[in-house]
Amino acid sequence: MSEKATPGRIRVLRPTEVERALPMDLAIAATRELLVARKKGELVSGQRSGIEVGATGLIWTPGGHAPTKRIGLRLYLTNVPEDDQVVAVWDTVSGQLQGLVVGAAFGAIRTGAIGGVAIDVLARKDSRVLAVIGLGSQARRQVEACLVVRPIEQVRLYRRSQAELAAEADQLAARWGVEVVACSSAEQAVRTADIVVTATSSIHPVLEASWLVPGTHLSVLGPKWDKRAEVPLDAVSQADVILSDFPEQFRAEAHFMLASRPEGERMGDLADHLDGGRHHALERTCFLSHGLSGTEPWLLDAALKEAERLSIGQLV
């Protein structure tokens, strides 16, 4: 029988437990429900904020949902070698802390789930080929999410460092159950792909707009600032449909690559297009990932319920 959290005792999930309590299919389903709540005006998404102590920054992203009586936030540091994050969720009526998650796994799953909903909304239903530039944890989670929502048969990988890429592709093919191709150039990966994901830290374009053929969907996770972006401006501006999970946050940032541009004005909210953002097969579509505040406590609440069912996590 599962042991429940009680007043004065909370459940803490570590990275390996998060993997079990929040599998990608569950994370995507919970994120879609959250976006429905956002469309209804029920989700409160606070703006990202923080402080700096010397060269180190502390960032927090708060959010809440009155109908489920949940409020919480994510805390993380910048300009440090480790990515130890904390997410907490409270009950808004009792004030009781419901649980915590620590480590980096939760954040990547959460971003992957948002990306999965975006791909489900914007990519063609018959998409079979996925190209990914970058191979960090965020990139891998985007692949996992894409495999949940589309019948992908081939994943093409490219990163600047080619060392061991072919061996990693073989390992990932066994893990993902699809063909995985190690590409020697970004162009080789991107041309003719149905879905393209960029997940790098580059402030210089990693692809060219001309490589994105009609019908392609592009998801951008990395830098998106004026003259410092992982994709060129024309790769975004040529898209027939541009969506973001947190467009109001982008519009509040003066250095956003679409600031004061018509493309920024026509950028829509993912939550408003859950029934479908693509109008015909030859449209180019683009998703600009920001990381919607309020997703963290919502997904943690879902993970805590699954953790209780599975009797995992530590009660403290």
Q: What is the DSSP string of 132-145?
A: EE--SHHHHHHHHH
- DSSP H/E element including 219: strand 217-220
Determine the pLDDT at residue 1.
41
Q: Which residues contact 111 (CB under 8 A, 6 or more apart)?
A: 138, 141, 142, 221, 289, 291
- CA distances to 102, 107, 185 from 159, rounded to whole Å, are 28, 22, 8
Query: Which of these, 82, 85, 86, 77, lies nearest to 54 by C-alpha position?
Result: 77
Query: For residues 255 and 247, what is the distance between their CA atoms, to the nearest angstrom?
Result: 14
Catalogue all structural domains in the chain, each as residue range(s) with its CATH number: 11-107+293-315 (3.30.1780.10), 115-288 (3.40.50.720)
Of the candidates 203, 206, 273, 192, the residue with the CA atom closest to the CA atom of residue 240: 273
Work out the angle at residue 245's Cα, subtended by the Cα atoms of residues 276 and 143, and round it to the nearest 5 degrees: 75
Helix axes 137-149, 24-39, angle to 10 degrees: 80
- Output the tens digit of pLDDT for each of the chain's 316 residues: 456 767 778 999 999 999 999 999 999 999 999 999 999 999 999 988 999 999 999 999 999 999 999 999 999 999 999 888 999 999 999 999 999 999 999 999 999 999 999 999 999 999 999 999 999 999 999 999 999 999 999 999 999 999 899 999 999 999 999 999 999 999 999 999 999 999 999 999 999 999 999 999 999 999 999 999 999 999 999 999 999 999 999 999 999 999 999 999 999 999 999 999 999 999 999 999 999 999 999 999 999 999 999 999 999 9
| Residues of the chain by 3-state class (helix, strand, coil), percent to 5 | 35, 25, 40
Q: What is the pLDDT of residue 82?
A: 86
User: What tens digit of pLDDT does each residue of 147-181 get?
Assistant: 999 999 999 999 999 989 999 999 999 999 999 99
Q: Note the pLDDT of residue 171.
A: 96
Q: What is the pLDDT of residue 5?
A: 66
Mean of the per-residue pLDDT values of the chain: 95
